[in-house]
Amino acid sequence: MFFRLKEKCGEHNQNGKTYKPGDVVETEIDLTIHFGHKFELIEDTKSTSSKITKPNIDTPQDEDDKDKEDKSSSSSLNKHGKDVTDQFSDAEDIGVLVFEKVKTNGKWYTVVDPDDNSVLTKKNLRKGKVNDFLVSITEEDN
């Protein structure tokens, strides 16, 4: 699906890229549900059966890696932290979101149900435990 970042909404960070107002974001996650005030749906590729022509997607100019890291570590998409779902293929497969928060004692991760924004993890997890948790909730569904 393609979403356009609305004017006067500031920047948005998605999958390690910084988008500015007017930029187009391609993602399988419905951004209008999670950030409805910031995005408008341009094209729903899931419901389009004809050949799709992708719109011109503006990507930010390349920056020094350190600058990218500084920007992404200071950005927070919501109360759960920075969306890092793209780092966990199992999360994308089962349709949950993974957020990272940097605290004084390191990075902590929370798994969230995107439908109702409920936290699925009973406590914050270290990165190495996220995949174990994802496997456990997949097994519960079976």
Task: Calculate Rg over the CA atoms of the chain.
Answer: 16
pLDDT in tens, 17-75: 787 888 887 777 777 777 767 778 887 665 544 444 444 444 444 444 444 444 443 33
pLDDT in tens, 61-113: 444 444 444 444 333 356 888 999 999 988 888 889 999 998 888 899 999 98
Instruction: Tell the residue number behind the tokens 């341009």, with chain if given.
Output: 42
Take residue 69 and report the two structure tokens written for it: 């890291």
b/e map of 101-125 (b: 16 or more CB within 10 Å)? eeeeeebbbbbbeeeeeeeebeebb
